[in-house]
Structure 1
Amino acid sequence: MSRITRRGALIAAIAAGLVLAAPAAAQAHVGVSPDAVEPGGSAVLTFAFTHGCEESPTTALRITVPEGLASVAPTSDSEWDIAVERADNGLVSAVTYTAVTPIPSGLQGAASMAVQLGEDAPESLAFPVEQQCEIGVNEWVEIAEEGADPHDLDSPAPVVTVAAAAAAAAESRTDAAHAEHSDAQEQTSEAAPAGIILGGAGLLAGVAALVVSVLAYRRSA
C-alpha cells in the first residue's frame, strides 16, 4: 500500500470515528417518556439514561418537580431507594432515586413517577435532574429559550409538553374515522335493496327459462 493510500485510509477512519462519536455525544442526556401529556391529564413519566458521569457508574437521580402538577407518586422499584421532598403546600417538590446497586455507564437505567396535571399547568414542564455518580455529578438543568432547539444545549433538562394541540388532533382523527365508518355503513345499506332487486330479477328469469324448457320438451315428445 502506497504512502498516499495509507494516509487516505487513516483520514477516512478518523472521519468515521468522529461521525460515530457525534450521535453518542448527542444522546448523552436524561430523557423522559412520554414527552407530551394532555391538559388536565395524567401519565407515568419514565426518566431514562444510558451513561454515567464520564465513565463513572450512576448512584442517584434527584429530579426537581415543576409547579403545575396536582399530584406526584414515585413508582416503587426494587432498583431504587426513594426519598420524597415536599414544599410548604404539601406537594412533592423533588424526588431522589438512589440506586441499590450503582448503574454502570453504558447500561440503561430508568426511574418513573405517576403525575396528574393541575388546571394551572403551563404549556411545558421542565424536570431538572441531578445525576450523581461514584465520581462526579451531571446537572441536566438547561432549558431552551422560545424558538431555540433543545438539542443544541449541552445539558438539557427533560421537558414534557402539555399538548392541547395533540389532543385536538387525536380527537379530530377519531371523528374522521367515525364519519368514514358511518359513510361505509350508509353505502352498504343503500346497496342492499339494489342487490335484492337484482337477485329477485335473476331468480324470475331462471324460473321463466325453466318453464320454456319444459314446454319445449313436451311439444317435442
Structure 2
Amino acid sequence: MSRTIHRLAVILAAALTTLMALAGVAAAHVSVSSQDAEPGGYGKLTFRVPNESDTASTVGLRMQIPQEAAMASLRAMPVPGWDVTMTTEQLDEPLQAHGREITEYVSVVEFRAEDGAGIAPGEFGEFALSGGPFPDAETLSYPTVQTYSDGSESAWIEPTIDGAEPDKPAPVLALNGDAGGHDAATGAEEPAGDEADVQEAGVQEEGATTQAADGGSATATTALVLAIIGLIAGLGGLILGWTARRRTVSS
C-alpha cells in the first residue's frame, strides 16, 4: 500500500509542476492597457513586458501600429537605459486632425537597451506611448516582438479570434468610450507649442503608471488552477478507492 501511495504522490507532484509551469507561461505575455484611451480622443498606452526566459534578459521591444490603429500624433515616454526609435510610413488613406490632412504616421516603435542589461529574468518592464486621436473602434491590436540577449525572440503577433487566446497573442487594447479623454470635438486640444504638430513623432515625459494585468492571462491562469484542483481531487479519490478495495479484500 505504501508503495502505491508513494507512486501516486510522485505522479501528483510531477503533474502539479507541469501545470504550474504552464500557468506561468500563460500569464507571461506582453500586454497593453490604458486608463484614458477612447475613440476620437488622446491617451496613454502602457505595454507591460514580463521576461519569461530563465537565462536571458529582454533587450528589445518592437511594437507595430497597423494602419487601422494609426494616430496622427504618437510620442514615446523615455525609459532610463533604453533608446527609442520611431519609423513612419505613408497612409493609404490620409487622416484628418485639427483641420489638417495627415499623410504619414508612426508605424513602428522600437525600444532597445543601451547597455544590454535590459529586463533580467524574473522581472518585468513597462513602456508607455502617448497619442491620438484613437480610431473609432472597440479594440486595437499591436503586434509586438520581444528580443532577448541570447538572440532569441518572442513574436506576440497572433490575433485573438472569437475570444480564444492563441499561444502568442498580440497585445490588444480595449478602448474605453466612457473615459474623459482629450477629444477635439469637446473642445480639448493637444499640448500647445511645438508638441501641437500632429505629424511630429517626438518624446513626451509622463509619470509611470502601473496597469492591471491582462484579462486573458487571468482567465488562462484560473483555468489551470481549476485543473490542478480537479487533478488533486481525482487522485485523492483514486487513493481512497484503492484503500477501500484493499480493506474489502482483507476482510
TM-score range, shorter chain: 0.5 to 0.7
**What amino acid is the match of 2:17?**
G
Equivalenced residue count is 163
Q: Any gaps of 5 or more consecutive residues in structure 2?
A: 91-102, 181-251
1:114 deviates by 0.7
Match of 1:99 in 2: 113
* More contact order relative to length (CA 8 Å, sep ≥ 6): 2
Write the mapping of 1:81-160 to structure 2, written as runs, cut at 5 A: 81-88=83-90, 89-100=103-114, 101-118=117-134, 120-135=135-150, 136-145=152-161, 147-150=162-165, 153-160=166-173
Match of 2:58 in 1: 58
What is the percent sequence identity of the aligned residues? 30
1:18 deviates by 2.5
**Of the two, which has the highest radius of gyration?**
1
1:52 deviates by 4.3
The answer to whether 1:31 aligns with 2:31 is yes
Question: What is the root-mean-square deviation in Å for CA atoms of aligned residues?
Answer: 2.3
1:94 deviates by 0.7
Whole-Å separation in 2 of the counterparts to 1:19 and 1:2 = 26
Match of 1:162 in 2: 175
Higher relative helix content: 1
8 A contact 2:119–2:125 mirrored in 1: yes
Give the TM-score normalised by structure 2: 0.58
Distance of aligned partners of 1:36 and 1:144 in 2 relative to their CA distance in 1, 3 Å threshold? farther
Q: Any gaps of 5 or more consecutive residues in structure 1?
A: 169-221
1:43 deviates by 1.9
Whole-Å separation in 2 of the counterparts to 1:44 and 1:167 = 12
Deviations 1:50-77 (A, max 9, x none): 2245642111001112333221101112
Give the TM-score normalised by structure 1: 0.66
Q: Secondary structure at the match of 2:131?
A: strand
Whole-Å separation in 1 of the counterparts to 2:54 and 2:158 = 19
**What amino acid is the match of 1:133?**
Y
**What amino acid is the match of 1:144?**
T
Match of 1:79 in 2: 81
8 A contact 2:57–2:149 mirrored in 1: yes
**What amino acid is the match of 1:72?**
L
Distance of aligned partners of 1:35 and 1:129 in 2 relative to their CA distance in 1, 3 Å threshold? farther
1:79 deviates by 2.9
